[in-house]
Amino acid sequence: MPVDWKPMVDLVHRSKRLLLTTHVRPDPDGLGSMIALADALEGLGKHVRMFISSVWPARYDFLDPNNRVRRFELPGDDSRDADAVIVLDTGTWNQLGDFGTFMKTLSCEKAVIDHHISQDDLGGIRFQDIESEATGRLVYELIQALGWKLTRSAADAIFAALATDTGWFRHRNTTPRTFALAEKLTAAGADPTLLYEQIYERSTLGRLKLMGLVLERLQSVDEGRIGYSEIRRADYAATGATPQDTEDVISLIRSLEGIEVALFFMEQPAGGVKVSFRSRQKVDVAKVAERFGGGGHRLASGAILDTSIQDAQKQVIAAVQSALQSSL
């Protein structure tokens, strides 16, 4: 169903100072959506500040060459004068980190722009379309509704969002509409060749070594229908990698022949275990992730468990096995 952007357009017009944020461990959809929207809002004369509650992933430096996105730190008093907060590519508190704690203390207007199923009540207007392949599409629609001409940098940012959230147009969420939007973005100046090189062809030695560990530890259970691997905290120092280098690694696990569900377990630097879920078709992994306080899409989800990696594997694999059995 098409999104009615009028309430959002009205919010923008009555706001002078806006805060934009996206989820922790941001990907090109979250970052690209935020940066493209900031470009349009600044073009309309608004004062915009962008924050993330985690380390900026170095592999996406090209999206923010002027370092406009800042890492959020509590108490955030210098940002309390905001007229509105716009949250992009997530609608859950546990994905907002310290910024979420700060946002709960604000009385200004709030809005969420997202394409994920899982949503909390963040206390604002929600612009959600789970049929959109990326939040970048929703930002494109909003920019059109605002009457702002897409700049080349914004086109690049949205193209990065669209292409990565569809696995560079390979995943099942890719539709004819996806290619139609890609055409519009390319016409506006997006450079697919350069973006692909920047995103996928700049692996550090540490990232490649980390991928080697993932493959070395790869296991399968349930007659080969569930594949999983892990990364431990000590692996980062041992390989020279960073936690951000684990992004997309689950695709290696999902590529194993016969897999229905791929799982990737990552010990977090501050404790707990992050789990990434990928399903081929039979299992709605968003529902499985929700059992552990997470969520996402039907075929791609995530959750964080406050436990050991061994216990996390035991709990999650059992839940996936149950979901697989129910799908038969």
Helix 192-200 crosses helix 152-165 at what angle (to 10 degrees)? 60
Which run of H or of E encompasses 48? strand 47-52
Please give the backbone phi and psi of residue 179, each rounded to the nearest 5 degrees, phi first: -70, -35
**Least confident piece of the model among 126-130, 175-179, 245-249, 273-277:** 245-249
Q: Are 51 and 190 part of one and the same domain?
A: yes
Q: Token match 């969520």: residue?
A: 295
From 200, 231, 247, the end of a domain falls on 200
Residue 223 — φ and ψ, nearest 5°? 60, 35
Q: Same structural domain for residues 130 and 279?
A: no
Both 319 and 224 in one domain: the answer is: yes
The structure tokens 């999983």 sit at 228
CA 80 to chain centre: 26
Q: Could you identify the residue written with the tokens 């229908």?
A: 225
Are residues 183 and 65 part of one domain? yes
Q: What is the pLDDT of residues 54-76, one digit of tens each?
A: 989 888 999 999 999 999 999 99
**What average pLDDT does the segment 131-153 reach?**
97
Residues 152 and 209 in one domain: no
1 belongs to a structural domain: no
Per-residue model confidence as pLDDT tens digits over 215-241: 999 999 999 999 999 999 999 999 999
Pick the last residue of a domain from 200, 225, 250: 200
Q: What is the pLDDT of residues 281-295, one digit of tens each?
A: 889 999 999 999 888
Overall domain count for the chain? 2
**18 and 120 share a domain?**
yes
Tell me what pLDDT residue 275 has: 96
On whether both 239 and 301 belong to a single domain, the answer is yes
pLDDT at 1: 67
Please report which residue ranges of the chain form alpha helices under DSSP H: 6-13, 28-43, 97-103, 135-145, 152-165, 176-187, 192-200, 205-216, 233-239, 250-254, 285-290, 309-327
Residue 106 lies in a domain: yes
Are both 106 and 19 inside the same structural domain? yes
- Among 174, 200, 226, the domain boundary falls at 200
Q: Are 22 and 138 within one domain?
A: yes
Spatial separation of the C-alpha atoms in residues 256 and 86, rounded to whole Å: 39
Domain of 239, in residue numbers: 205-327
What is the pTM (predicted TM-score) of this model?
A: 0.84
Give the domain CATH number at 47.
3.90.1640.10
Look at residue 181 and tell me if it is in a domain.
Answer: yes
Q: State how far Cα 188 lies from the chain centre.
A: 24
**Residue 220 lies inside a defined structural domain of this protein:** yes
Residues 6+ apart with CB under 8 A from 50: 19, 20, 21, 34, 35, 38, 68, 69, 70
Confidence at residue 117, expressed as pLDDT on a 0 to 100 scale = 86
Residue 22 domain-assigned?
Answer: yes
Residues belonging to the chain: 328
Residues 28 and 157 in one domain: yes
The torsion angles phi and psi of 291, rounded to 5 degrees, stand at -65, -20
Q: Same structural domain for residues 218 and 281?
A: yes
pLDDT band at 7 (very low <50, low <70, confident <90, very high): very high
Is the bond preceding residue 75 a cis peptide, omega within 30 degrees? yes
Q: Distance between CA 162 and CA 157 in Å, rounded?
A: 9
Residue 260 lies in a domain: yes
- Look at residue 194 and tell me if it is in a domain: yes
**Would you state the structure tokens that stand for residue 62, as one six-digit string?**
């090209």
Is residue 71 in some structural domain? yes
Same domain, 83 and 58: yes
**Residues forming beta bridges with residue 274, ordered by sequence position:** 266, 304
pLDDT in tens, 22-51: 999 899 999 999 999 999 999 999 999 999
Nearest to 160 by CA among 34, 69, 38, 277: 34
